[in-house]
């Protein structure tokens, strides 16, 4: 370095010294940017460093750095000259996006582009990730090619670093989401009954098909005493661990209140209070709650905004609609009606969630009347066969995968 500082009367030696100093400054700039990247500095910091290098080290008087985000270009750093409006900038982007190499703009037919000296692209495979427009560029002709390549390298380092940071965030988000799904699945696996009871007075079977790892469907069967039992089927809005925890809270609350309260209206009212308190009105639950006495054959039920279960018997069919609105929407339920029935022998109660008859991602939708038709065809089969047959009938008649939403079937046959 001391040798560089000594004056010399040889012009070629002075030029060499200046060139070496310039190269050293460029290497220092690359080192500083790399260190900033390793420290995970914000994008704004990297852009400020780029502006300093262009202004101080390379004598650039005007610059526009444009980055492509998804399918849209945006100017993230600029200095010098009169700033173009967004519409003009988008026109520039469309025109220059296909340009693969550094080009001179001084004689460009577009009047606005001709105000710049050079276009410097940053590409990956066949895509343009970013580009920079350089204007008022004062450097020696023999250094132009080198310095444009240096600018391209510097911007490339910054863009790649930003892309890597973006990909890292996306990966972390995916991993968190996956872990969230795993935890939710573990929670839900503890909620769904592993075995349903067998009796000479009734048959019961459940089919649960969650979408992906975890869904918002829930069902339960609770034996109250020697002669009575309660069952429910529900659909919680949302997915993931928060929905699973809400289901867990619903199960605990239902089991607690059903064991001490005989009034269906009071049980559902209390469940609504608990759901509303826990969710602040941000989530809701549709629920059907049924209660059956094996001695009197009396059934009571409340439908809280859920798909109406279908009762098939020798007397025909009926949709079990009486009840109230969905849980969690109102601090106080506006009304609660309790349905009451005496069930004849061989009555079939088919409970299901909306994933069975409609799909957000597929053209699958059947009416409740069509579902009644399928149930009447299979009503004399064992309940496990009924569930499988209903799924098969819908899939074959609609050519549907039925894999874009949770599906839960809970079928009870009163003997």
Average pLDDT by consecutive 10-residue portion of the chain (415 residues)?
Answer: 50 67 80 88 91 90 88 86 80 82 89 90 84 89 87 90 88 81 70 83 91 74 94 87 83 92 95 92 93 97 97 95 95 96 96 84 76 94 95 83 78 96
Residue range 152-165, pLDDT digits in tens? 999 999 988 998 88
Within 8 A by CB and 6+ apart from 21, the residues are: 4
d(CA 375, CA 377): 5
d(CA 159, CA 171): 18
In degrees and rounded to multiples of 5, residue 165 shows phi and psi of -65, -40
pLDDT of the residue at 225? 92
Task: Answer whether 134's CB lies under 8 Å from 84's CB.
Answer: no
Q: What are the residue ranges spanned by the domains of the chain? A: 2-165, 181-414
pLDDT of the residue at 404? 59
Q: Hey, how many other C-beta atoms are within 10 angstroms of the C-beta on 263?
A: 13
Q: Which CATH architecture has domain 2-165?
A: 2-Layer Sandwich (3.30)
Residue 53 carries which DSSP code? I
Task: Answer whether 390's CB lies under 8 Å from 381's CB.
Answer: no
Strand partners, 289: 232, 302
| pTM above threshold 0.85 | no
Residue range 3-52, pLDDT digits in tens? 444 445 666 666 666 667 777 878 888 888 889 888 889 999 999 999 99
Domain 181-414, CATH: 3.60.40.10
d(CA 236, CA 392): 25
pLDDT of the residue at 4? 44
pLDDT of the residue at 97? 82
- Name the one residue in this structure whose structure tokens are 């064992």: 382
Listed in order, strand segments (DSSP E) in 125-195 are: 127-137
> Distance from first CA to last CA of the chain, Å, rounded?
100
């Amino acid at each position: 370095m001391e040798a560089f500082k000594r004056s010399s009367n040889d012009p070629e030696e002075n030029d060499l010294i200046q060139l070496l100093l310039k190269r050293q400054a460029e290497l220092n700039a690359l080192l500083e940017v790399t260190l900033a990247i390793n420290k995970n500095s914000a994008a704004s910091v990297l852009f400020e460093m780029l502006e300093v290098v262009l202004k101080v080290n390379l004598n650039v008087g005007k610059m526009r750095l444009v980055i492509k985000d998804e399918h849209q270009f945006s100017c993230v750093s600029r200095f010098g000259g009169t700033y173009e409006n967004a519409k003009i900038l988008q026109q520039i982007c469309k025109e220059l996006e296909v340009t693969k190499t550094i080009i001179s703009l001084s004689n460009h037919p577009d009047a606005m582009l001709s105000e710049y000296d050079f276009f410097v692209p940053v590409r990956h495979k066949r895509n343009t990730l970013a580009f920079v427009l350089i204007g008022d560029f004062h450097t020696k002709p023999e250094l132009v090619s080198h310095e444009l390549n240096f600018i391209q390298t510097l911007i490339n380092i910054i863009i790649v670093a930003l892309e890597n940071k973006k990909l890292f965030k996306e990966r972390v988000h995916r991993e968190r989401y996956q872990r969230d799904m795993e935890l939710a699945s573990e929670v839900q696996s503890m909620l769904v009954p592993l075995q349903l009871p067998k009796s000479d007075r009734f048959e019961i079977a459940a089919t649960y098909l969650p979408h992906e790892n975890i869904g918002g469907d829930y069902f339960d069967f609770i034996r109250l005493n020697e002669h009575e039992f309660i069952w429910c089927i529900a659909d919680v809005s949302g997915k993931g661990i928060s929905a699973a925890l809400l289901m867990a809270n619903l199960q605990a609350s239902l089991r607690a209140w059903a064991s001490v309260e005989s009034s269906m209206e009071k049980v559902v009212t209390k469940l609504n209070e608990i759901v509303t308190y826990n969710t602040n009105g941000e989530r809701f639950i549709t629920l059907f709650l049924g209660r059956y006495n094996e001695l009197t054959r009396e059934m009571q039920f409340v439908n809280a905004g859920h798909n109406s279960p279908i009762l098939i018997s020798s007397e025909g069919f009926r949709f079990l609609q009486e009840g109230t609105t969905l849980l969690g929407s109102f601090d106080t339920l506006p009304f609660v009606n309790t349905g009451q029935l005496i069930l004849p022998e061989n009555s079939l109660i088919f409970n299901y969630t909306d994933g069975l008859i409609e799909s957000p991602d597929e053209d699958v939708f059947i009416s409740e009347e069509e579902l009644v038709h399928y149930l009447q065809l299979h009503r004399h089969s064992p309940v496990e066969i009924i569930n499988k047959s209903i799924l098969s009938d819908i899939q074959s008649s609609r050519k549907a995968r039925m894999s874009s939403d949770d599906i839960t079937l809970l079928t009870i046959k009163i003997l």
